[in-house]
Amino acid sequence: KFWSLWENDNLMGCGALKFLDKEHGEFKSIRVHDKFRGQNNGIKVINHLIEEAKKLKIKRLSIETGAGKFFLPARKLFDKCGFKVCEPFAHYKEDINSMYYTKLINE
């Protein structure tokens, strides 16, 4: 499933949700255009994805992201949205270039 966030005719950001099983989903490709950063639009995308996941009866959401400095804003966003660092999930393996996050969500 894929969603996008728009302001008039301007694409602000997007995000996708992949089912890992019937109650566990993974966020994929969460992006916010540079022009719209620093305005809480990343939180808007994540909150929308969480609400959609709840509608789909997902109980746990997980994320894989980069461990490098470039991905620090994404990691801060995930922390701010209540995600916690976790072990690799699904097909992922330990990797010094990756970090893994998860969050239980309520209906």
Structure tokens at 10: 């301007």
Task: Please choose, from the candidates 82, 24, 80, 89, the residue with its C-alpha nearest in 3D space to the C-alpha of residue 57.
Answer: 24
Q: In this structure, are residues 54 and 98 in contact, taking their beta carbons and an 8 Å threshold?
A: no
Pairing label, strands 24-32, 60-66 = parallel
* pLDDT tens, N- to C-terminus, the chain (107 residues): 899 989 899 999 999 999 999 999 999 989 999 898 888 888 988 999 999 999 999 999 999 999 999 999 999 999 999 999 999 999 999 999 999 999 999 75
- pTM of the predicted structure, to 2 decimals: 0.88
DSSP labels for 8-63?
Answer: TTEEEEEEEEEEEETTEEEEEEEEE-GGGTTTTHHHHHHHHHHHHHHHTT--EEEE
